[in-house]
Chain A
Amino acid sequence: MGNVEIFKNLKMKKVTPLTEKTLVIGNGPQARCIAEELLAKDADLIVASEENAFVLPFPEKTEILTGVKIRSCEGSVGNFNLTLDKDGEKVSRIVENVIIAEEAVRKPNFSLYGLTPCANVISLSQLKESLSDDSRPFFKNKKFVFLTGLAKESNAVILEEIMRASLKLQSEFHAKTYILTKNLKVAGHGLELLYRRTKEAGAVYIKFTESQPEIHQQEDDGPVILTFTDDITGEQFRLTPDITVADETISPPENTSDLAAIFGLDTDPHGFLQSDNVHRISVLTNRKGIMVAGPSRDIQSPGEEITDTGNLALSIFKPSDERETASAYKAQINPRLCSGCLTCYSVCPYNAILPDTTASVMPDACEQCGVCAAVCLSRAITIKGLTYIEISDHIEKNTPQKKETFTPFLLAFCCKRSAARAHELASCMGHKLPPGLKIIEVPCAGGVSHYHIFLALRNNADGVLVLTCHEGNCHSERGNLYAHEQLNMIGSFLEIAGFEKERLLIKPLASNMSKEFAEITNTFEKKILDLGPSRFKMKKQDFSFLT
């Protein structure tokens, strides 16, 4: 009976965190805000800052490591083993959780507007800094032009800063302000009102749709002349500002890609430390115990940064009973079968595999998606609920009796987060589903392996469906993509062997798509009806390699 028996005899290690320490990585206000909030609730903190100073109100309550660089991080939640560089020396710390809360980087868009920065061509940050300085007679009665969102789309965070600066320039310096933009990004709290106030104070907004202003800077440090056609009047205008303010692109902190590599974190298209995936709302990452906050995870307004702090605190203080009860369901690697190829390590979305001569699973980090088991060539990895025995039993139990008229037996492997829920909803809504349709709920479509597919075919399934989450919506980040690869590969093999690959179908489906669930399965049934009963034959002994 193979693997399952072996695992029954393997004692599960009960895991308790070695420490309750939390490491906060960051230098700026966001990290400070988090540290203060957590310290107020007596969290056991270590703060690691690359800068040489990090000021906290109760420095004695925490360990503050300044001027350090993170070198490596091993282990998993409850037991992250970190190595840091401090003044050329290696420092090690073990922590339960890690919070990354760096500050974002502002890149002025001078070059996008063909401008060279000089005394009269400044960035938004430079202007903000100057405005926070009390006496600025230089600004008095001057003409300011703000350029924003013209070369590429901007956002509400930048617009809010521009409008606040404009208001201050207007009210305190009697300056005249012109704001040139494409889409005015007022989708922020109170921004429509602020927009109105700036207009009341005399700000002129020029919105472009198709055209762009022509921007000329006479020499590298010369005056700027803008000419443009106003969309609304159709008139051509010229502006010769005293000061031109370029907007900025908000980018991830500079060390982000290093941190992503060290911690094994997915990033979004801009490089922020959180993949663009709804399962990460709001401060989560692909790794348990590692959270990201504020500017490390997205472009954020100050209000959102405070919100993140609250959510982080929830993650840190959340009671941890979940981890022990679920540990029996984690992936398990049989060391006697493991060849040490570490394919599992390279595909695990959660960094739950500990690589060594043989691989092993860090149960606390495992989210039991099954991706590792599906790719393991040595069949050394099993997950409760997904083992071949269990799936085989399940299929056998659900195999319908042969009827006189051909009723296709359709087996659908459904991701528990999406398609399995859509199936339930389809039943609730009373949608007609194929009579021969049977559902196998899997933790992630990425956990469906070619063995599972062959099991289905051997058990006389006339068609096999794999229903996944949509790309970008997979809790295991790429599980759905692995499933696609897997199924395409099997399809092409079957085709070579003269078998209709149309009997295999993979489709994305969300949990609330009940109608689509019915449509996909009914269309598939029709297809299979056209193809007729499956001719797939495999003797039981041909399958011995599975058990």
Chain B
Amino acid sequence: MEQTCEIIDMDQLDHGRFGSWSFSQDFCVTCGLCSSSCPASGIDGFDPRKFVRMVSLGLEDKVVEARWPWICTMCAKCEHVCPMEIDIPAMVRSVRGLREREKVPGVLHKGLAAALETGNNLSLPKEDFVFILEDVAEEIAEEPGFEGFTVPIDKEGANILTTIHNKLVNTHTEDLKHWWKIFHAAKEDWTVPSDNWEGTNWGLFTGDDEAMKIMAGRVAEQMEKLKVKNLLWPE
């Protein structure tokens, strides 16, 4: 547990910003079920109940500066078990959003900046992206039962548009195959856009609503452009 010598004047705490949040944080009965269930409890001496309590008391600086909200995986187990229906993941996101963008943990901050600039977190050029996909498709086509398999990039009027997680075109290309084989076997009419294909939305994770909107908007744009009605967003 962190021990601080500083004594905080409880009645001087600013409840203004947190007070306007409607995540029911003030209804916490401090039962501890969230913390007992959370896989990230105890890291950095933090846990969901402590997090909720700090928000409820208005300990804004401390909670915004803390590393823990960035460690939380937002798995929502806490929310699932909370008897008072406190939306803890949403609170975590909101707290992340309060951080100065420059202080957002490096990978996320850079990745998001890259995504906003280039359409994906890796700044992967379009040609490279298409090359990788086609390469993987060729590998599939060599397998028995998948003869002639190709990847339908930018197919207009397809039934499903699927986004791609950047790691699948980086370190985990093998994982693309499972999806595609299923599509093939199911005779699905699907497509991948060659622009703005990024599935991860780090605007969501960093609490950056603006960025989240932009990223989500781009996916929608692609769907309109290719006249696809259904989205498969395997995030």
Contacts and interface: CB of A to CB of B under 8 A. Distances in A.
| A contacts B directly (C-beta below 8 A) | yes
Interface residues of A, number: 23
A1 B43 CA distance: 87
A96 B6 CA distance: 69
Contacts, number: 56
Nearest to A207: B30
Given A232-B50, A233-B54, A143 B11 contact: yes
B186 interface: no
B50 A234 contact: yes
B53 A233 contact: yes
Interface in A203-253: 204, 207, 227, 230-241
B27 interface: yes
A204 B50 CA distance: 15
Contacts of B6: 236
B138 to A, nearest CB: 57
A230 B7 CA distance: 11
A178 B49 contact: no
Contact of A232 (B8, B9, B53): B53
B228 interface: no
B57 interface: yes
Contacts of A207: 30
B203 to A, nearest CB: 29
A329 B9 CA distance: 73
B2 interface: yes
B59 A233 contact: yes
Contacts of B54: 233
B7 A204 contact: no
A238 B9 contact: yes
Contact of B4 (A143, A196, A231, A236): A236
B27 A239 contact: no
Nearest to B1: A234
B57 A233 contact: yes
B84 to A, nearest CB: 8
B46 to A, nearest CB: 10
A144 B104 CA distance: 39
B1 A237 contact: no
Given A200-B26, A232-B30, A240 B50 contact: no
A503 to B, nearest CB: 55
B3 interface: yes
Given A232-B50, A234-B2, A176 B11 contact: yes
A236 B4 CA distance: 8
Contact of B10 (A195, A196, A231, A238): A238
5 contacts: A232-B30, A233-B54, A235-B4, A235-B59, A238-B9
Interface of A: 143, 176, 178, 195-196, 199-200, 202, 204, 207, 227, 230-241
Closest A-B pairs by Cβ, 5 of them: A237-B10, A232-B53, A236-B7, A234-B1, A199-B26
Given A196-B27, A202-B26, 13 more contacts: A178-B10, A195-B29, A199-B26, A227-B7, A234-B3, A235-B59, A236-B7, A237-B7, A238-B7, A239-B9, A239-B10, A240-B9, A240-B11
